[in-house]
Amino acid sequence: MDLKTATAIRRLRLVSAPEAISFLLLLVCSVLKRTTEFNAVPVMGMVHGVLFVLYVIFWADAWNRAKWSLKTAALYFVLSVLPAGGFFAERRLRRETEDAVIASRARKEGVVGA
């Protein structure tokens, strides 16, 4: 994995968890708006919207650079629209990056033909 691909995946990882948190908070704010006088939906909606747009931009960049299959790219996109999906996306992306680093080091050292 080259540096630009690793950076693209890292950016997607870094925005995944905050995007998921903002989605969950937006859902809580929506419930509170309907059950109490508390209305933070406009603020949380904007925060979540910005994080979601960043997620989609970083997702497209990572898909382009990592040469993911359509199935893998679709999985990461679907995870972005599920309330806690960002947590699962971050975990899978971290594992994928760690595996790529290990394979790269093994190739460099000539340990395996990975």
Kindly tell me if the per-residue pLDDT of 103 is higher than 90: no
Kindly tell me if the per-residue pLDDT of 87 is higher than 60: yes
Output the six-digit token pair for 22.
């903002």
User: What is the pTM assigned to this prediction?
Assistant: 0.85
- pLDDT tens digits, one per residue of 27-56: 999 999 999 999 999 999 999 999 999 999
- Binning pLDDT at 50, 70 and 90, where does residue 111 land? confident
Kindly tell me if the per-residue pLDDT of 113 is higher than 60: no
Half-sphere exposure of 76 (CA within 13 A, CB side): 28
CA–CA distances in Å: residue 60 to residues 25, 73, 108? 25, 8, 29
Helices (DSSP H) in the chain: which residue ranges? 3-35, 41-66, 70-81, 85-109
Cα-Cα-Cα-Cα dihedral of 104, 15, 24, 77, to 10°? Answer: -70
pLDDT value of residue 44: 96
The residues, ordered by sequence, that sit 6+ positions from 25 with a Cβ below 8 Å of its Cβ are: 44, 48
Rounded Cα–Cα distance for residues 114 and 104 (Å): 8
pLDDT value of residue 105: 82
